[in-house]
Amino acid sequence: MKLDLNLLRSLSPDHFKVLATVERAMKKDGMKKKKLDLVPSHLICRIAALKGTEKALKYLACHDLLHHDSSKYDGYRLTSLGYDYLAIKNLVDRGVFVEFGLQIGEGKESEIHEVRTKDGTLLALKVHRLGKTSFRAVKLKRDYSKHRNSSCDWFFLSSSAARYEFAFMKALKQHDFPVPSAVAFNRHCVVMSLVEGYPLVQVKQLQNPEAAFDTIIGLIVRLAEHGLIHCDFNEYNLMIDDDEKITMIDFPQMVSVSHPNAQMYFDRDVECVFKFFKKRFDLSFEDHNTDESRICLSSIAKDADCLDKELAASGFTKKDLEDNQQFIGEGIEQNSSDRDGGTEDDECVSGTNEENIKSFDALHLQDQVEMFILSQETS
Protein backbone atom coordinates (compact mmCIF):
# COMPACT_ATOMS: atom_id res chain seq x y z
CA MET A 1 0.00 0.00 0.00
CA LYS A 2 1.44 3.36 -0.98
CA LEU A 3 0.05 5.49 1.79
CA ASP A 4 0.75 9.16 1.19
CA LEU A 5 0.34 10.90 4.52
CA ASN A 6 0.26 14.32 2.87
CA LEU A 7 -2.59 13.19 0.67
CA LEU A 8 -4.39 11.67 3.66
CA ARG A 9 -4.10 15.01 5.50
CA SER A 10 -5.21 16.97 2.44
CA LEU A 11 -8.51 15.10 2.27
CA SER A 12 -11.44 16.95 3.81
CA PRO A 13 -14.47 15.35 5.47
CA ASP A 14 -16.35 16.03 2.21
CA HIS A 15 -13.79 14.03 0.22
CA PHE A 16 -14.30 11.11 2.59
CA LYS A 17 -18.05 11.51 2.36
CA VAL A 18 -17.83 11.26 -1.43
CA LEU A 19 -15.51 8.23 -1.22
CA ALA A 20 -17.86 6.54 1.24
CA THR A 21 -20.82 7.35 -1.01
CA VAL A 22 -19.17 5.57 -3.94
CA GLU A 23 -18.34 2.63 -1.67
CA ARG A 24 -21.94 2.40 -0.45
CA ALA A 25 -23.36 2.60 -3.93
CA MET A 26 -20.94 -0.10 -5.11
CA LYS A 27 -22.18 -2.32 -2.29
CA LYS A 28 -25.74 -1.75 -3.22
CA ASP A 29 -27.74 0.55 -5.42
CA GLY A 30 -30.62 1.03 -2.99
CA MET A 31 -33.23 1.57 -5.64
CA LYS A 32 -32.27 -1.26 -7.97
CA LYS A 33 -31.11 -3.51 -5.13
CA LYS A 34 -27.99 -4.67 -6.95
CA LYS A 35 -24.31 -3.99 -6.73
CA LEU A 36 -22.86 -1.36 -8.99
CA ASP A 37 -19.48 -1.87 -10.57
CA LEU A 38 -19.42 1.71 -11.82
CA VAL A 39 -21.45 4.30 -9.96
CA PRO A 40 -23.02 6.96 -12.21
CA SER A 41 -21.71 10.45 -11.41
CA HIS A 42 -25.23 11.89 -11.12
CA LEU A 43 -26.10 9.23 -8.53
CA ILE A 44 -23.04 10.09 -6.43
CA CYS A 45 -23.94 13.80 -6.58
CA ARG A 46 -27.50 13.04 -5.50
CA ILE A 47 -26.58 10.77 -2.62
CA ALA A 48 -23.65 12.80 -1.31
CA ALA A 49 -25.77 15.98 -1.49
CA LEU A 50 -22.74 18.25 -1.23
CA LYS A 51 -22.02 21.44 -3.12
CA GLY A 52 -18.58 20.43 -4.34
CA THR A 53 -19.17 16.77 -5.19
CA GLU A 54 -17.99 17.01 -8.79
CA LYS A 55 -14.81 18.79 -7.80
CA ALA A 56 -14.18 16.24 -5.06
CA LEU A 57 -14.72 13.38 -7.52
CA LYS A 58 -12.09 14.83 -9.85
CA TYR A 59 -9.63 15.34 -7.00
CA LEU A 60 -10.11 11.79 -5.74
CA ALA A 61 -9.72 10.34 -9.26
CA CYS A 62 -6.63 12.44 -9.83
CA HIS A 63 -5.05 10.80 -6.76
CA ASP A 64 -6.10 7.25 -7.73
CA LEU A 65 -8.60 6.91 -4.92
CA LEU A 66 -11.39 6.61 -7.47
CA HIS A 67 -11.31 5.38 -11.04
CA HIS A 68 -13.17 7.47 -13.61
CA ASP A 69 -14.75 5.62 -16.52
CA SER A 70 -16.90 7.22 -19.20
CA SER A 71 -16.87 4.39 -21.74
CA LYS A 72 -20.45 3.25 -21.06
CA TYR A 73 -21.68 6.16 -18.97
CA ASP A 74 -20.00 8.73 -16.80
CA GLY A 75 -19.17 7.05 -13.53
CA TYR A 76 -16.65 6.23 -10.81
CA ARG A 77 -15.53 3.15 -8.96
CA LEU A 78 -13.56 2.89 -5.75
CA THR A 79 -9.94 1.79 -6.20
CA SER A 80 -8.16 -0.45 -3.71
CA LEU A 81 -6.20 2.62 -2.64
CA GLY A 82 -9.46 4.48 -1.99
CA TYR A 83 -10.68 1.54 0.07
CA ASP A 84 -7.39 1.56 2.03
CA TYR A 85 -7.81 5.27 2.79
CA LEU A 86 -11.37 4.80 4.00
CA ALA A 87 -10.31 2.05 6.40
CA ILE A 88 -7.24 3.90 7.65
CA LYS A 89 -9.18 7.12 8.16
CA ASN A 90 -11.73 5.20 10.24
CA LEU A 91 -9.05 3.55 12.39
CA VAL A 92 -7.16 6.82 12.88
CA ASP A 93 -10.38 8.70 13.73
CA ARG A 94 -11.14 6.04 16.35
CA GLY A 95 -7.69 6.58 17.85
CA VAL A 96 -6.58 3.01 17.13
CA PHE A 97 -3.25 4.31 15.82
CA VAL A 98 -1.70 7.63 14.96
CA GLU A 99 1.25 6.70 12.76
CA PHE A 100 1.55 4.40 9.80
CA GLY A 101 4.90 2.66 9.42
CA LEU A 102 6.88 0.25 7.29
CA GLN A 103 5.61 -2.89 5.67
CA ILE A 104 6.83 -5.78 7.83
CA GLY A 105 5.26 -8.74 6.10
CA GLU A 106 3.54 -9.88 3.00
CA GLY A 107 1.26 -12.87 2.70
CA LYS A 108 -0.40 -14.44 -0.26
CA GLU A 109 -3.29 -12.14 0.15
CA SER A 110 -2.32 -9.45 2.55
CA GLU A 111 0.20 -6.82 3.49
CA ILE A 112 1.28 -6.29 7.07
CA HIS A 113 2.39 -2.85 8.23
CA GLU A 114 3.68 -1.55 11.51
CA VAL A 115 1.54 1.18 13.07
CA ARG A 116 2.10 3.22 16.20
CA THR A 117 -0.44 4.19 18.85
CA LYS A 118 -0.57 7.53 20.64
CA ASP A 119 1.38 6.09 23.58
CA GLY A 120 4.11 4.78 21.25
CA THR A 121 3.09 1.10 21.21
CA LEU A 122 3.81 -0.65 17.93
CA LEU A 123 1.01 -2.75 16.48
CA ALA A 124 0.54 -4.75 13.28
CA LEU A 125 -1.99 -3.72 10.65
CA LYS A 126 -3.04 -6.52 8.31
CA VAL A 127 -4.59 -5.33 5.05
CA HIS A 128 -6.51 -8.19 3.44
CA ARG A 129 -6.38 -8.35 -0.34
CA LEU A 130 -8.36 -11.33 -1.52
CA GLY A 131 -7.92 -11.84 -5.23
CA LYS A 132 -4.41 -10.37 -5.12
CA THR A 133 -2.76 -13.37 -6.73
CA SER A 134 -3.46 -13.82 -10.40
CA PHE A 135 -4.75 -17.38 -10.00
CA ARG A 136 -7.27 -16.21 -7.47
CA ALA A 137 -8.17 -13.25 -9.62
CA VAL A 138 -8.89 -15.42 -12.63
CA LYS A 139 -10.75 -17.99 -10.56
CA LEU A 140 -12.68 -15.28 -8.84
CA LYS A 141 -13.65 -13.65 -12.10
CA ARG A 142 -14.65 -16.94 -13.63
CA ASP A 143 -16.63 -18.44 -10.76
CA TYR A 144 -17.69 -15.59 -8.67
CA SER A 145 -18.85 -13.23 -11.37
CA LYS A 146 -21.54 -15.78 -12.20
CA HIS A 147 -23.22 -14.72 -9.00
CA ARG A 148 -22.44 -11.06 -8.72
CA ASN A 149 -21.00 -9.77 -11.94
CA SER A 150 -19.06 -7.14 -10.11
CA SER A 151 -15.38 -6.51 -9.62
CA CYS A 152 -16.12 -4.62 -6.42
CA ASP A 153 -16.81 -7.94 -4.66
CA TRP A 154 -13.07 -8.22 -4.07
CA PHE A 155 -13.19 -5.38 -1.59
CA PHE A 156 -16.10 -6.79 0.24
CA LEU A 157 -14.71 -10.30 0.36
CA SER A 158 -11.51 -8.88 1.80
CA SER A 159 -13.57 -7.15 4.45
CA SER A 160 -15.31 -10.45 5.27
CA ALA A 161 -11.92 -12.10 5.69
CA ALA A 162 -10.87 -9.28 8.04
CA ARG A 163 -14.00 -9.71 10.16
CA TYR A 164 -13.53 -13.46 10.43
CA GLU A 165 -9.90 -13.04 11.30
CA PHE A 166 -10.70 -10.50 13.99
CA ALA A 167 -13.45 -12.66 15.48
CA PHE A 168 -11.38 -15.84 15.55
CA MET A 169 -8.35 -14.06 16.97
CA LYS A 170 -10.39 -12.51 19.74
CA ALA A 171 -12.08 -15.77 20.66
CA LEU A 172 -8.84 -17.77 20.55
CA LYS A 173 -7.09 -15.25 22.79
CA GLN A 174 -9.91 -15.48 25.31
CA HIS A 175 -9.21 -19.21 25.43
CA ASP A 176 -5.50 -18.65 26.02
CA PHE A 177 -4.28 -19.68 22.60
CA PRO A 178 -0.95 -18.11 21.65
CA VAL A 179 -2.28 -15.69 19.04
CA PRO A 180 -1.84 -11.93 18.58
CA SER A 181 -4.30 -9.76 20.52
CA ALA A 182 -7.04 -8.44 18.26
CA VAL A 183 -7.23 -4.67 18.67
CA ALA A 184 -9.67 -3.38 16.05
CA PHE A 185 -10.84 -3.85 12.51
CA ASN A 186 -12.43 -1.80 9.79
CA ARG A 187 -13.34 -2.89 6.28
CA HIS A 188 -10.43 -5.09 5.06
CA CYS A 189 -7.98 -4.03 7.80
CA VAL A 190 -7.27 -5.75 11.12
CA VAL A 191 -5.11 -4.22 13.82
CA MET A 192 -3.44 -6.66 16.20
CA SER A 193 -0.52 -6.84 18.57
CA LEU A 194 2.88 -7.13 16.98
CA VAL A 195 4.38 -10.60 17.32
CA GLU A 196 8.05 -10.82 18.27
CA GLY A 197 10.10 -13.24 16.24
CA TYR A 198 10.05 -14.71 12.75
CA PRO A 199 7.91 -17.02 10.67
CA LEU A 200 9.04 -20.59 11.39
CA VAL A 201 9.81 -21.07 7.71
CA GLN A 202 12.77 -18.69 8.08
CA VAL A 203 14.28 -20.58 11.01
CA LYS A 204 17.07 -22.99 10.10
CA GLN A 205 18.01 -24.19 13.59
CA LEU A 206 16.22 -24.65 16.88
CA GLN A 207 17.66 -25.38 20.30
CA ASN A 208 14.82 -27.70 21.06
CA PRO A 209 12.96 -28.81 17.93
CA GLU A 210 11.17 -31.62 19.83
CA ALA A 211 9.63 -29.13 22.25
CA ALA A 212 8.57 -26.83 19.40
CA PHE A 213 7.08 -29.79 17.54
CA ASP A 214 5.13 -30.91 20.62
CA THR A 215 3.82 -27.41 21.20
CA ILE A 216 2.72 -27.06 17.60
CA ILE A 217 1.01 -30.45 17.37
CA GLY A 218 -0.53 -29.68 20.76
CA LEU A 219 -2.02 -26.52 19.28
CA ILE A 220 -3.68 -28.41 16.43
CA VAL A 221 -5.13 -30.86 18.92
CA ARG A 222 -6.29 -28.14 21.31
CA LEU A 223 -7.93 -26.25 18.44
CA ALA A 224 -9.84 -29.41 17.54
CA GLU A 225 -10.80 -29.86 21.19
CA HIS A 226 -12.35 -26.41 20.88
CA GLY A 227 -14.18 -27.42 17.71
CA LEU A 228 -11.89 -25.71 15.20
CA ILE A 229 -9.41 -26.54 12.44
CA HIS A 230 -6.95 -23.90 11.26
CA CYS A 231 -6.79 -25.17 7.65
CA ASP A 232 -3.55 -23.37 6.82
CA PHE A 233 -1.45 -24.54 9.71
CA ASN A 234 2.11 -24.54 8.49
CA GLU A 235 5.55 -22.99 8.88
CA TYR A 236 4.35 -19.77 7.21
CA ASN A 237 1.66 -19.16 9.78
CA LEU A 238 3.63 -19.96 12.92
CA MET A 239 5.90 -17.33 14.43
CA ILE A 240 8.71 -18.23 16.76
CA ASP A 241 10.77 -15.90 18.95
CA ASP A 242 14.30 -16.14 20.35
CA ASP A 243 13.01 -18.14 23.34
CA GLU A 244 11.33 -20.51 20.87
CA LYS A 245 7.90 -19.39 21.96
CA ILE A 246 5.31 -20.15 19.29
CA THR A 247 2.52 -17.82 18.14
CA MET A 248 0.00 -18.82 15.50
CA ILE A 249 -1.37 -16.33 13.00
CA ASP A 250 -3.64 -16.11 9.97
CA PHE A 251 -7.17 -17.29 10.77
CA PRO A 252 -9.76 -16.26 8.19
CA GLN A 253 -9.98 -19.74 6.69
CA MET A 254 -10.61 -21.66 9.93
CA VAL A 255 -13.49 -24.13 9.89
CA SER A 256 -15.53 -26.07 12.38
CA VAL A 257 -14.79 -29.73 13.16
CA SER A 258 -18.31 -30.36 11.90
CA HIS A 259 -17.31 -29.25 8.38
CA PRO A 260 -17.82 -32.08 5.85
CA ASN A 261 -14.12 -31.99 4.90
CA ALA A 262 -12.91 -31.53 8.48
CA GLN A 263 -10.95 -34.78 8.51
CA MET A 264 -9.04 -33.89 5.36
CA TYR A 265 -8.20 -30.35 6.55
CA PHE A 266 -7.16 -31.63 9.97
CA ASP A 267 -4.95 -34.38 8.52
CA ARG A 268 -3.38 -31.91 6.14
CA ASP A 269 -2.52 -29.51 8.98
CA VAL A 270 -0.95 -32.36 10.97
CA GLU A 271 0.92 -33.71 7.97
CA CYS A 272 2.40 -30.32 7.10
CA VAL A 273 3.90 -30.06 10.57
CA PHE A 274 5.31 -33.61 10.50
CA LYS A 275 6.86 -33.11 7.09
CA PHE A 276 8.33 -29.73 7.91
CA PHE A 277 9.98 -30.93 11.13
CA LYS A 278 11.31 -34.04 9.48
CA LYS A 279 12.76 -32.18 6.53
CA ARG A 280 14.05 -29.08 8.32
CA PHE A 281 15.13 -30.48 11.70
CA ASP A 282 15.51 -34.15 10.83
CA LEU A 283 13.13 -35.19 13.58
CA SER A 284 12.64 -38.90 13.57
CA PHE A 285 9.11 -39.67 14.65
CA GLU A 286 9.76 -43.35 15.19
CA ASP A 287 11.79 -42.38 18.27
CA HIS A 288 9.42 -39.69 19.30
CA ASN A 289 6.54 -40.34 21.63
CA THR A 290 4.04 -38.52 19.36
CA ASP A 291 2.37 -41.16 17.28
CA GLU A 292 0.84 -39.68 14.13
CA SER A 293 -1.92 -42.28 14.06
CA ARG A 294 -3.05 -41.26 17.55
CA ILE A 295 -3.73 -37.69 16.42
CA CYS A 296 -7.18 -38.61 15.33
CA LEU A 297 -9.80 -35.95 14.74
CA SER A 298 -12.82 -38.14 15.45
CA SER A 299 -11.63 -39.04 18.94
CA ILE A 300 -10.56 -35.46 19.76
CA ALA A 301 -13.62 -33.77 18.32
CA LYS A 302 -16.21 -35.95 20.00
CA ASP A 303 -15.52 -34.22 23.30
CA ALA A 304 -14.95 -30.85 21.65
CA ASP A 305 -15.75 -27.80 23.72
CA CYS A 306 -16.93 -26.11 20.58
CA LEU A 307 -15.51 -22.67 20.69
CA ASP A 308 -17.18 -22.34 17.29
CA LYS A 309 -20.54 -22.51 19.07
CA GLU A 310 -19.48 -19.90 21.55
CA LEU A 311 -18.65 -17.46 18.79
CA ALA A 312 -21.78 -15.45 18.52
CA ALA A 313 -23.02 -14.01 15.23
CA SER A 314 -24.99 -12.11 12.53
CA GLY A 315 -24.87 -9.21 10.08
CA PHE A 316 -24.58 -11.00 6.75
CA THR A 317 -27.42 -12.34 4.72
CA LYS A 318 -27.51 -16.09 4.20
CA LYS A 319 -26.40 -15.50 0.60
CA ASP A 320 -23.45 -13.37 1.69
CA LEU A 321 -22.42 -16.08 4.08
CA GLU A 322 -22.63 -18.77 1.42
CA ASP A 323 -20.65 -16.68 -1.06
CA ASN A 324 -18.06 -15.80 1.50
CA GLN A 325 -17.75 -19.35 2.66
CA GLN A 326 -17.37 -20.62 -0.85
CA PHE A 327 -14.65 -18.09 -1.45
CA ILE A 328 -12.89 -18.87 1.79
CA GLY A 329 -13.12 -22.55 0.86
CA GLU A 330 -11.35 -21.80 -2.41
CA GLY A 331 -8.84 -19.85 -0.39
CA ILE A 332 -7.99 -22.94 1.62
CA GLU A 333 -6.90 -24.65 -1.56
CA GLN A 334 -5.04 -21.67 -2.85
CA ASN A 335 -3.32 -21.03 0.47
CA SER A 336 -1.72 -24.40 0.29
CA SER A 337 -0.75 -24.45 -3.35
CA ASP A 338 0.55 -20.91 -3.67
CA ARG A 339 2.31 -20.01 -0.47
CA ASP A 340 4.53 -16.99 -0.16
CA GLY A 341 7.79 -17.91 -1.79
CA GLY A 342 6.59 -21.46 -2.50
CA THR A 343 6.69 -24.43 -0.22
CA GLU A 344 9.15 -27.23 -0.02
CA ASP A 345 6.39 -29.62 0.89
CA ASP A 346 3.92 -29.51 -1.90
CA GLU A 347 3.07 -33.15 -1.33
CA CYS A 348 1.39 -32.35 1.94
CA VAL A 349 -1.26 -30.47 0.01
CA SER A 350 -4.20 -32.41 -1.15
CA GLY A 351 -6.87 -31.04 -3.41
CA THR A 352 -10.49 -30.60 -2.53
CA ASN A 353 -13.18 -31.10 -5.03
CA GLU A 354 -15.11 -27.97 -5.77
CA GLU A 355 -18.46 -29.61 -5.22
CA ASN A 356 -17.51 -30.20 -1.63
CA ILE A 357 -16.57 -26.58 -1.21
CA LYS A 358 -19.84 -25.47 -2.72
CA SER A 359 -21.82 -27.72 -0.42
CA PHE A 360 -19.87 -26.40 2.51
CA ASP A 361 -22.44 -25.80 5.18
CA ALA A 362 -20.72 -23.98 7.99
CA LEU A 363 -23.29 -21.25 8.21
CA HIS A 364 -23.87 -22.00 11.82
CA LEU A 365 -20.26 -21.29 12.62
CA GLN A 366 -20.22 -18.19 10.45
CA ASP A 367 -23.44 -16.90 12.01
CA GLN A 368 -21.86 -17.24 15.37
CA VAL A 369 -18.70 -15.46 14.28
CA GLU A 370 -20.73 -12.59 12.88
CA MET A 371 -22.83 -12.21 16.00
CA PHE A 372 -19.66 -12.18 17.98
CA ILE A 373 -18.35 -9.34 15.82
CA LEU A 374 -21.54 -7.36 16.26
CA SER A 375 -21.46 -7.85 20.00
CA GLN A 376 -17.87 -6.59 20.03
CA GLU A 377 -18.77 -3.59 17.92
CA THR A 378 -21.67 -2.60 20.08
CA SER A 379 -20.04 -3.27 23.44
Question: Least Å distance between CB 233 and ligand ADP?
Answer: 11
* 18: contact with ligand ADP by CB under 6 A: no
Give dist(CA 172, CA 191) in Å, integer.
16
For position 177 contacting ligand ADP by CB under 6 A, the verdict is no
Task: Please pick, from the candidates 237, 256, 324, 343, the single residue that binds ligand ADP as defined by CB under 6 A.
Answer: 237
Catalytic residue among 153, 232, 250, 323: 232
Alpha-carbon distance of 363 to 318, in angstroms, equals: 8
Is there binding between residue 107 and ligand ADP (CB under 6 A)? yes
Q: How many CA atoms lie within 13 A of 122 on its CB side?
A: 10
Count of residues touching ligand ADP (by CB under 6 A): 18
For 151, 153, 231, 327, 328, the CA distances from 157, given in Å and listed in that order, are 11, 6, 18, 8, 9
CB-neighbour burial class of residue 85 (10 A; exposed 0-12, middle 13-18, buried 19+) = buried
Q: Which helix (H) or strand (E) holds 246?
A: strand 246-248
What residue is closest to Mg ion based on CB? 250
Residue 322 interface partner, choices ligand ADP, Mg ion, none, CB cut-off 5-8 Å depending on type:
none
Asked if residues 369 and 164 have their Cβ atoms less than 8 Å apart, the reply is yes
Binding mask 196-235 for ligand ADP (x = CB under 6 A): ---x------------------------------------
Does position 192 interact with ligand ADP (CB under 6 A)? The reply is yes
Q: How far is CA 125 from CA 103, 343, 350, in A?
A: 9, 25, 31
Residue from 69, 63, 68 nearest 81 by CA = 63
Q: Give the per-residue contact string, 337-356, with Mg ion (x = CB under 5 A; - = no).
A: --------------------
Q: Per CB under 6 A, does 108 bind ligand ADP?
A: yes
What's the number of CA atoms in the CB half-sphere (13 Å) around residue 336? Answer: 23
Residues 240-259 as x/- pattern, contact with ligand ADP by CB under 6 A? ---------xx---------
232 given a catalytic annotation:
yes
- The DSSP symbol for 142 reads I
Rg for the chain, CA atoms, rounded: 22
For 30, other C-beta atoms within 10 Å of its C-beta total 11
Q: What b/e string do you get for 323-336 counting C-beta neighbours within 10 Å, with b at 16 or more?
A: bbbbbbbbbbbbbb
194 binds ligand ADP (CB under 6 A): yes
Please identify, among the stretches 17-25, 32-40, 103-111, 300-308, the one whose residues bind ligand ADP according to the rule CB under 6 A.
Answer: 103-111
The Cα 200–Cα 154 span in angstroms is 30
The reply on whether position 112 binds ligand ADP by CB under 6 A is yes
- Please identify, using beta-carbon distances, which residue of 21 and 158 lies nearer to ligand ADP: 158
> Is residue 107 near Mg ion by the rule CB under 5 A?
yes
Q: Does 178 bind ligand ADP (CB under 6 A)?
A: no
Q: What mask of x and - would describe binding to Mg ion in positions 230 to 259, judged by CB under 5 A?
A: -------x------------x---------
Question: Of 13 and 120, which CB lies nearer to ligand ADP in the complex structure?
Answer: 120
Which of the residues are catalytic? 232
Applying CB under 6 A, which residues contact ligand ADP? Answer: 104-105, 107-110, 112, 124, 126, 180, 192, 194-195, 199, 236-237, 249-250
Applying CB under 5 A, which residues contact Mg ion? Answer: 107, 237, 250
